[in-house]
Structure 1
């Protein structure tokens, strides 16, 4: 195991060194509005699980990284147009997205999406369900008999339930559970739904060396246990780990 960990670490370091000229600064694109994955703290800085993870991955790959904020609904187009070099924003790996961009291996394993409502009798099959636009959850609801109500930000989807615009919100359990646990009026309803192939970093299809550098860094964190420890720190003991 020690040899595996050392090999992965050395690969990440050598890949980072090889990229020094091509990427003097690697720009990490995120939304900053999806806690605990990413959010803006009281000092106005990007914070959250992905900020800590991204900084560690950059350190292991010996890359100089900076953080760039972008709205979710244009996060893929602005990657492909060159406004930043990666997406690290709680983005699930899907076949549809993989036709446009490339992904690293996942750094969050496949997890459950949940419905949260104000009543256990919420109509999930024929009612109005809020979801963030351009997410796998929105795509899932669009294929059901429910009415999809899309919003640009995740906070708006929850607000739609609280103010009666929607019968329920459908989103990642990692995002919804802390909200439901802190609000006595909100509750998880229905059955969990498994969607996507976990969460990974998105990159342009031409940036193969950069992708492999981050792949090696992610693998090294899986091998030495630091990724699981970080997941538990930010998402709790019940979170899915590797």
Structure 2
């Protein structure tokens, strides 16, 4: 299993210092990007990011609540203070860092990929579906293909099935079930590396909150607990961190 090096030993980690007494931190997720985040049988947000976020809040001594929000409205609503943080499979990119701050990644970079009903689709000249507001939709728009965007990944994949698009472009891990579970999809072309991994998004002014979450992520990488969650939700072959 490929592992990424964690650059330094865990930082000393002090919980709950300096934030307002009893402050509740509202974290937004989409609930439509399993296993990153999903809606479980009880109608509640669940998945890797929700379990990880709850543990980060516990280690930081924070009271956290979860807010369901559409992915393409995440950054505007964060900046409008409708919530305080984003954990929604959001890739760390230079363009997004112009508007918001990110913690270090809590999932290492994974490639994006194309999938279609035929491996012979020319993704440079075809109609390609992607989820609105993602790094994949930006990439397709700049690739020469005709981009069609959808609010959720499931809708983007469905567009290929019903003929509205020739291929779908998304995180490769998210496409694996379409290709490997008899759903009629095949890989098209080579993997495409995008972004610097998945991180928590916060307002640039919330430096103390950023530092607390960042320290908690560092601690979980150092003690191996973040790897346990990655394997639980993404499988034993998922890319993890060395510690």
TM-score bracket for this pair, using the shorter chain length = over 0.9
How far 1:195 sits from its partner (Å)? 0.1
> What TM-score does the superposition give when structure 2 sets the normalisation length?
0.92
Per-residue deviation, 1:207: 0.4
Once residues 178 and 223 of structure 2 are traced to their aligned partners in structure 1, the CA distance between those partners, rounded to angstroms, is 31
Residues 179-207 of structure 1, C-alpha deviations (whole Å, 9 max, x = no match):
33223311222110000011000000110
1:148-169 CA distance string (max 9 Å, x none): 1111111110000111111110
Counterparts of residues 150-169 of structure 1 (less than 5 Å): 150-169=149-168
Runs of 4+ in 1 over 4 A off after TM superposition: none
Gaps of 5+ in 1: none
Listed as ranges, the matches of 1:39-118 within 5 Å are 39-118=38-117
Residue aligning to 2:18: 18
**Matched residue pairs, number?**
234
TM-score for both structures, normalised by structure 1: 0.93
Shift of 1:178: 2.4
- For 1:152 and 1:126, locate their aligned partners in 2 and report how far apart those are by CA, in whole Å: 23
Alignment of 1:145-184 (within 5 A): 145-184=144-183
Displacement of 1:237: 2.5
Pairwise CA distance, 1:71: 0.7
- C-alpha distance in 2 between matches for 1:185 and 1:55: 37
CA contact (8 A) 1:26 1:65 kept: yes
Q: How does 1:194-213 map to 2 (within 5 A)?
A: 194-213=193-212
Given that residues 178 and 184 in structure 2 are in contact (C-alpha distance below 8 angstroms), is that contact kept between their aligned partners in structure 1? Answer: no
Distance in 2, Cα, partners of 1:54 & 1:182: 30
Is the partner of 2:58 in helix, strand or coil?
helix
RMSD: 1.5
SS of 1:209's partner is helix
- Whose helix fraction is larger, Structure 1's or Structure 2's? 1
Contact 1:12 1:217 (8 Å CA) reproduced: no
